[in-house]
Chain A
Amino acid sequence: MSGPIVLGQWNFWIVLYLWFVGIGTGAFLTAYYINKKGDASDLLARASWIGVAALAAGSLLLLIDLGRPLRFWHMFVSYRGSSVMWIGSWLITITTILMFIVALTKSKGVAVLAAIGAALTASYVGVLLTVSAIQLWSGTLLLPWLFLASAFTTGAAALSLSKNGSRHADVLSEVGKVYGILELIILILFVFWSFAAAPAAALSMVAGKYIGALWVGVLIIGIAAPLYLEIKSDKKISIAATGLMIIFGGLALRYLVVFAGQ
C-alpha cells in the first residue's frame, strides 16, 4: 500500500514563483517608466538586475517544483502554442535575457522590448492560473489584472528598498499608492465575482480557512497599512516598513489565490 493519496497540488514553490515574477517585472516596469520621464538610469540598471535575479530565481523555483526537473528542456523543443505555460516559459526566458542585456548595455531599444516582455510576463502568471479548471482561478478574468497591480506595488517597494531607491522615494511611493488603490479595487471585484463563480473558495477566503491570509496578510499588511502610511507620508518610518509590508502582502496574495483555489 502506498502512503497518503497524492493528488498533485501546486504548492509553495509556485507561490514563490508568482511572487518573484511579480517583483521582478514590476520593478523593471516601474524603473523603466521613471527613467523614461526623467533620468533614472541608475534605477533602471538596479531594476534590471532585480528583474534578472527575480525571474531567474522564480524560474529556478519552478524547476525545483517539477516532478522531473532535469527534463525542463522538453518544454523548449516542442511547439505548444495552446499551452499558457509553454508561452510563459518562452516569455520569461526571453524577458530575462532582455533584462540582462539592459542591465549590461543600458540599451534603450532593448529596454523597450524588455518592458513589453515584463508586462506580458507579469500578466501571463495570471493567465496561467486562469486557464484551468480551478473555479477560483478561472471563474473571473481578473487574475492578470490583480497580479499586474501587485507586481507594481511589490516591484516599486522592492526598488524603494534598494540601494538607489531613496533617491526616487517620492515617485516610488506614488506608484505604490496608485497601484495599491487599483489592487484594492480589483481585489474587491475579484472577491465579489468569485462569490458567483467559486462560492466555496470565496467563502473560504472571506470567512473560512483563508480568512487570515485575506484580511490580515493581503488587505491590512499588504494594502491598507502601507497606503495609510504613504498617504500620511510619514517618511521616517515608512520607507522600509511600507516596502516590507507590501512585499509580504504580495506573497500573501499569491498564497491566498493559489491555495484557496485548490
Chain B
Amino acid sequence: MGVKRREFLKLTGLISLGSFLPSIKEAMAASVPLLKKMAESPTICPYCAVGCGQIVSKKGNKLLDIEGDPDHPINRGALCPKGAGSRHLADNPRRITEPLYRAPGSDHWEKKSWDWMLDAVAKKIKKTRDDTFIRFDRDGYEINRAEGLAYLGGAAHNNEECYAAVKFARALGIPWLEHQARICHSSTVAALGNSFGRGAMTNHVIDMKNSDMFLIMGSNAAENHPLTFKWIMEAVEKYGAKIISVDPRFTRTSSKAHYFAQIRAGTDIAFLGGMIKYIIENRQYDEFYVKNYTNAALLINPNFKDTSELDGIFSGYDAKKRAYDKSTWQYQTDENGIPLRDETLNDPNSVFQIMKRHYARYSFETVSNVTGVAIKKLKTIYDLYSSTGQKGKAGTILYAMGATQHTYGTQHIRGYAVIQLLLGNIGVAGGGVNALRGHGNVQGSTDHGLLFHDLPGYLGLPKRKEKTLDARIKDKTPKNYDPKSLNWWKNYGKYLTSQLAAWWRETDPRVSYHYLPKLGPHKNNIPDAGSNYSHIAMFEAMYQNVIKGFFVMGENPAVSASNAGPARNAMANLDWLAVLEIFDTETASFWNRPGINPKKIKTEVFLLPNTVWVEKSGSFTNTGRWAQWKNKVIDRVGNVKDELWIYTELVKRLKKLYSAGGTYPDPVLNLSWWDVETERLPEAIAKEINGFDIKTGKLVSSFTKLKDDGSTACGNWLYAGSFTEKGNMMARRNDVDPHPAKIGTYSNWSWNWPVNRRILYNRAGVDLNGQPFDPRRWVIKWNGSKWIGDVPDGGSPPNTIHPFIMLNEGYGREFARGLLDGPLPEHYEPYESPIKNPFGNTQINPACKIWATPGIDIHGNFDKYPVVLTTYRVTEHYLAGQMSRNIGWLAELQPDAFVEMDREIAKKRGIKNGSLCEIIGARGKVKAIAIVTGRIHPLKIMGKTVHPAGLLWSFGYKGLVKGDSANLLTPNIGDANTMIPEYKAFLGDLRKLEG
C-alpha cells in the first residue's frame, strides 16, 4: 500500500519543501544524509571502570555525537546510559566555567581571575602547612607531616593527574591523603593482596565470556557495570553459563539471573562460610590445585586457636587495644625457614584441617537462620557453584561495594578468595575474584597511591621507625628461603629508590627519603592519630578542628561520606576549602545548603573549574587493569583550566613562596616538576611514571630494568613498560585477539599492568608440566621450550616456581596470616544488627575501630530501628551524582531519591507506592519516594521477621534533580583492615509522610 501512495506523491511533486530530516522526498531517493557526522576521534568513557571506548565527532569546538567505539574490544560500540549521555557531561550549561570564590560568611560566589585564585590558594596552603607542620614528634622521630592539610579525590582523574597530585601532596607532607578508593574497594586491595599477592581484579571484563558460572554477590553488575553483561550474556548464550545473584533485593542483575537468593544485608560471610563447609565436606574442591597451589597443606603454629574454640575470636587478641598479636598465626618452618607441609592435608595443624574445623559451625540451619535464605536454596546454590571445582570448569565471582563496605569487608572478599582457591578457579580463563571497580580510573588512582598509607605502586608510606631509606627497604623486603618462591617483593628497594629519584631528581634518594611524611602515633585529641588518616578519620578530625585546609579534586564527600550530616558540618571548621570540579557540588557549596545560614560559616571556598575527559589527554586504568590512553578531542570551554596546569601553577607559586622561607622548605624547593607546556604535560608525566635512565633519559622497557642506586627514575614501577622507547603502549589500538585459544586477551590493545599480563596468576591455571587444566580456554601453555598465550606470571619453566609469585611463600592463601582481624573469614554481625551473633559471643568484628565522638557516633538498636537498611546506586546515577544529576538525560530517568521496601512493611506503616516517606535512623532522617515492591521480601532471621529496605544514596542538594543522600543515615565505622565505612548494613525505620 505504501508504493501506490508514494508514486502518487511523486507525481504530484508537492512533497517536502523543507529540508529537516527525515524528509520523505529524500527518503524516497534512498539517501537520507546522516543527521550529524560521526566517528572521528576515539576516547574512553569517563564513567565507570569497565573502560568502554567511545567515538566523538564535533563541529568546530562543539560536540555533535558521542557513541560507542565499534572497534573497542570491550564494548564493541555499545554503551550504558551514562556513557550514551556523556555528551551532555561536556556540553552542559551547568558547568562552572569561571573560577569562583566564596568569602568567609558570604552567601554567594564571586568570579575571580585565575591568578588571584592560585595566589590565594598557594598562600593558604603555605600558611596551613607552616602552622601545622610537625618535623619531629614528641618521641623524637622525624615525621614531616602537615597535620592541618587534607587532600581528597582522584578516581575520576587520569593516571597522570593522580600521579601529579600524589607527588604534590606528599612533597607538602600532607598526611590526610585519601580518595574514593578508600570507601569503595580498599578492602579488595587488602583481601586480594593478602590472598593472591595483588590487590586487583584477577581477570578482566572480556574474560567473563569464558565462564561457566557467575556468582554475582555484592554487585549489581547489570546496573553499575552494564557492559560486563555483554560478556556475561555471551557466556550464557553460547556456552550455557549460569548466573547466580545473591543480593538484599532483587535487582536488574537478578532479573537476568538463573538463581536468586535474597540475603540479609551484612551476612555474606555466613553465606560463604556455609559454601566453604559444603565444598570441603562434599569434596567438591580441586584436590590437586588445593595441595599444590594453595597453602592448604602448610602447617600453622600449633598454638593457633580458632574462633570455634575462643567464642568468636582468634588467638592473640588484646581486647583493650581491639587488636591481634599475629604471632600464633604463622607457618611452622624447617631449619631453612621453608614452611612445613603435609601433602595428605590430614595434619590437625594444616590449614586445610583448621579451615575444616573453623567452618564446621556454618551448618545449613545456622546459615539459613542468619542470612534468611531458605536451606533448599542454599543447597542449590552451593551445589551449583561448587560444581565449578571440576577440571575444565570455570566459575567466577563478581562483586563490588556490596561486599567491600562492611566492618568485615576485607574478610568477606577473603571468603571469595578461599572458595576460588578451593575450586581451582584462580589463574584460569573465566575464573577469578573479580572486583568491579566504580570510577573510571579508580584502579589507576589506587595504583598511584592516593591513599594515606601508600605510595604509588603499593610501596607503602614509611613508618616513623624506619629512619632511613635502607631501614625502610630492609623492613619491606620479605625474606623467603623456599627456592621455588619467586618472592617478587625482594625488588622493593629498586622501586622505592627509583620513585624517590623521580620525585626529587637532584637529591640523593637517601636524603629525599626524609622528605616523605612518616606514619606513626602522634598524640592529639584524635584517637589513633598518626597511624589512621583514613576517610572516616579525616572527617572525625575535621569535626574536631584538627584539619584547617582541605583540597578536593573531583570527589563529593557531602554526599558520599558515611554519616554525612556531621561530615557536612565538619567542613565548616575549615579555614579554607579548595575544590577542583566541573559542576558546583554539594561539597563545594556545603556553606549554602538548605537549613544552613551561610553567614555563620567562615570557611573560605575556592572553586576551581576544570576539564572533562574530552578536553585533555591522559590514561584511565579500567577494572581489568588496562591502562587506556585517550587524546584530547576538543578545547576547554570558557575559562576552565587543566588540572595539570593548576598543579603546575601551584607548585610554581609554592616554590616561589618557600624560596623566601618557610617551615622545612626542602621537599618543596627540590621537587622535580615538569617544565613543559600544558598540552604536553600528560605525555611527560606518563614517561616519568614509566621510568627512565636518569643519565641517558632512555625510557625503561620494564621494571626489571630499575635499579636501587638512584640511577633510574620511575614514578610507579607497576606501570614500567607502559610508555617505552617503542612508544605509548597505552595508546595501542589493535582490536584483534592474538591469543591462540581466542579467550579474548586482546593483548595488543592498550597496555595493562603487570607487564601486559591479562589474567593474573595464570601459572596456577596449568599443571606441573605447564599444560592447561582446560584445553579449550587455556591461558598459558608450555610448549616445551617457552610459554605461549598470555604473559606468564614469571617466565621460568613449569614447576620451577610456585604460582603466586607476589606472595613470599608462593602459595595462594586460604589462610592469610597478614590481616589484622584474623586469618580466616568469620561471620560477625554488622555494627547495627537485628540479632545476637549465633556463631559466637563476639558480636561485631573484634578488630575494627569503634568511633565514639559524642553527638555524632550514635549507635541504633533493633528495638527502636527495626528495619535492616542498605544503600546502593542505580544505572542512571553515578556515585555521588555530580556527573549524572546534572545531566538531563539521566536525571529524567531517575528523578528522585527512593527507598525500596516490601509490601508487608509498607502496609504496616501505611506507606503507598510512589509516595514520599521518611527513613529514620539513629544518626539522621532522610526523605525519599517509596517504591513498594515484590522484589524485596521480609526475612525470617533467628525466628524473627525482619524487614529489609534499601536506599539510593546518589542524591544531594545540588544538580538538576535533588534529594536526600542516604549517607545521612550510615554509621562511621570502618573495616578492621582498611577503615572502609559500613555503608551496606545498618538499622532504621520507615514513616509515611503523605497519604
Indicate yes or no for A touching B, C-beta below 8 A: yes
Asked if A1 and B888 make an inter-chain contact with CB atoms under 8 angstroms apart, the answer reads yes
User: How far, in whole Å, are A78 and B9 apart by their CA atoms in the complex?
Assistant: 7
Contacts of B891 in A (CB 8 A): 1
Query: Using an 8 Å CB-CB cutoff, how does the interface string of B7-42 with A read, 1 for contact, 0 for none?
Result: 011001011000000000000000000000000000
| B892 within 8 Å of A (CB atoms) | yes
Report whether A77 and B8 are in contact in the complex, using a CB–CB cutoff of 8 Å.
no
B960 at the interface (CB under 8 A from A): yes
Q: Find residues 70-90 in chain A having any chain B CB closer than 8 Å to their own CB.
A: 77-79
By secondary structure, the A interface counts as loop
* Residues of chain A at interface, number, CB under 8 A: 4
Report the separation of the CA atoms of residues A250 and B490 in the bound assembly, to the nearest whole angstrom.
95
Q: Which one, B12, B888, B892, B960, contacts A78 given CB within 8 A?
A: B12
Task: Report chain B residues within 8 Å CB of A79.
Answer: 5, 8, 12
Which of B8, B9, B15, B960 lies in contact with A1, CB distance below 8 A?
B960
What CA separation (Å) do A79 and B7 show in the bound complex?
A: 11
Chain B, 885-903, CB within 8 A of any chain A CB: 888, 891-892
* Cα–Cα, bound, A77→B960 (Å): 46
- CB < 8 Å: which of B5, B14, B888, B892 contacts A77? B14
Q: How far is the CA of A179 from the CA of B190 in the complex (A)?
A: 87
Roughly how many angstroms separate A78 CA and B5 CA in the complex, as a whole number? 9
Nearest to A80 among chain B residues (CB) is B5
Give the residue name and chain of the A residue nearest to B8 (CB). A79
CB distance from A97 to the nearest CB of B (A): 23
Within 8 A of A (CB), among B922-964: 960
Q: Residues 796-814 of chain B: 1 if any A CB is under 8 Å from the residue's CB, otherwise 0?
A: 0000000000000000000
Q: With a CB–CB cut-off of 8 A, which chain A residues contact B5? A: 79
**Distance in angstroms between the alpha carbons of A77 and B16 in the assembled complex:** 12
Cα–Cα, bound, A79→B15 (Å): 12
Minimal Cβ-Cβ distance residue in B for A5: B892
Complex alpha-carbon distance, A78 and B24, angstroms: 14
Residues of B within 8 A of A77 (CB): 12, 14
Within 8 A of B (CB), among A1-43: 1
Q: What is the minimal beta-carbon distance from A88 to any residue of chain B, in angstroms?
A: 19
Give CA–CA (A1, B959) in the complex, Å: 13
Whether the pair A1, B14 counts as a contact (CB closer than 8 A) is no
B846-895, CB < 8 A from A: 888, 891-892
A114-149: contact bitstring with B at CB < 8 Å (1 yes, 0 no)?
000000000000000000000000000000000000
A78 to B4 CA separation, bound complex (whole angstroms): 13
Given the complex, which residues of B lie within 8 Å of A78, measured CB to CB? Answer: 8-9, 12, 14-15
Q: In whole angstroms, how far apart are the Cα atoms of A1 and B93 in the complex? A: 11
Contact residues in A for B15 (Cβ distance below 8 Å):
78
Measured CB to CB, the closest approach of chain A to B118, in angstroms, equals 35
The complex places the Cα of A215 from the Cα of B441 at a distance, in Å, of 66
- B511 CB to nearest chain A CB (Å): 58
Instruction: For chain B, residues 479 to 523, give those with C-beta under 8 angstroms from any C-beta of chain A.
Output: none
Q: Chain A's nearest CB lies how many Å from the CB of B694?
A: 55
Residues of A within 8 A of B888 (CB): 1
Nearest Cβ distance between residue B143 and chain A, in whole angstroms?
52
CA distance A78 to B8 in the complex (A): 8
User: Are A1 and B12 touching (Cβ within 8 A)?
Assistant: no
Q: Which residues in A have their C-beta under 8 angstroms from that of B8?
A: 78-79
A71 and chain B: residue at smallest CB distance: B17
Which of B5, B888, B891 has most chain A Cβ within 10 Å?
B5
Whole-angstrom CA separation of A117 from B8 in the bound complex: 27
CB-defined interface of A201-214 with B at 8 Å, one 1/0 digit per residue? 00000000000000
Contacts of B14 in A (CB 8 A): 77-78
Which residues of B sit under 8 angstroms from A1, Cβ to Cβ?
888, 891-892, 960
Given pairs A79-B8, A79-B12, 9 additional interface contacts (CB within 8 A): A1-B888, A1-B892, A77-B12, A77-B14, A78-B8, A78-B9, A78-B12, A78-B14, A79-B5
Ranked 10 nearest A-B pairs via Cβ: A1-B888, A77-B14, A79-B8, A78-B12, A77-B12, A78-B9, A1-B960, A78-B14, A1-B892, A1-B891
Interface positions of B (Cβ within 8 A of A) = 5, 8-9, 12, 14-15, 888, 891-892, 960
Q: List 14 A-B contacts (CB under 8 A).
A: A1-B888, A1-B891, A1-B892, A1-B960, A77-B12, A77-B14, A78-B8, A78-B9, A78-B12, A78-B14, A78-B15, A79-B5, A79-B8, A79-B12
Binding site for B on A (CB under 8 A): 1, 77-79
